Amino acid sequence: MICLIAGNSFEAYTFAKGQFLADNEWFYPETIEILYARSNFHVLVVGTAGQNVPNNYFERLLSIAQIRGKIGRP
Strand arrangement, sheet containing 42-45: 26-27, 2-5, 42-45
Q: How confident is the model at residue 74 (pLDDT cuts 50, 70, 90)?
A: confident
Distance from C-alpha of 11 to C-alpha of 7, rounded to nearest angstrom: 6
Overall pTM surpassing 0.85 (yes/no)? yes
- What pLDDT sits at residue 9? 92
What single letter denotes the amino acid at residue 20? F
Q: Is the dihedral of CA 20, 68, 39, 61 positive or negative?
A: negative
Q: What is the pLDDT of residues 18-71, one digit of tens each?
A: 999 999 999 999 989 999 999 999 999 998 887 878 888 899 999 999 999 999
- Contact of 5 with 61, CB cutoff 8 Å: yes
Flag whether pLDDT at 73 surpasses 90.
Answer: no
